[in-house]
Amino acid sequence: MENDSPLRRLREQANLTQEQLSVRLDVSTSTLRRWENGGVEPAMTREQWEIFCEAVGVSFEKLPKKLNLRSQ
């Protein structure tokens, strides 16, 4: 059964592949995959979160609470 990751749902709703989003965020595809699979908490900088938000079309303030964002 596939993990219902909020990160994955947002990426897929934006019609982005893991590879496309990882290039925009300047992280490896395997890192993005671990974030989506819940292996590790996304450790993005504020700048990377802003890039992520722009890429998926969601404002930073409206990201799902369950992403458990750190302030960076």
Give the pLDDT confidence score for residue 2 in this predicted structure: 57
- Average pLDDT for runs of 10 along the chain of length 72: 76 96 95 85 88 92 63 40
Q: What angle do CA 18, 64, 58 make, to 5 degrees?
A: 65
Q: pTM for this structure?
A: 0.78
Alpha-carbon gap, residue 25 to 20, rounded angstroms: 9
Q: Is the distance from CB of 3 to CB of 38 less than 8 angstroms? A: yes
DSSP 20-45: HHHHHHTS-HHHHHHHHTTSS-----
How far lies 13's CA from each of 2, 6, 71, 72, in Å? 16, 10, 25, 26
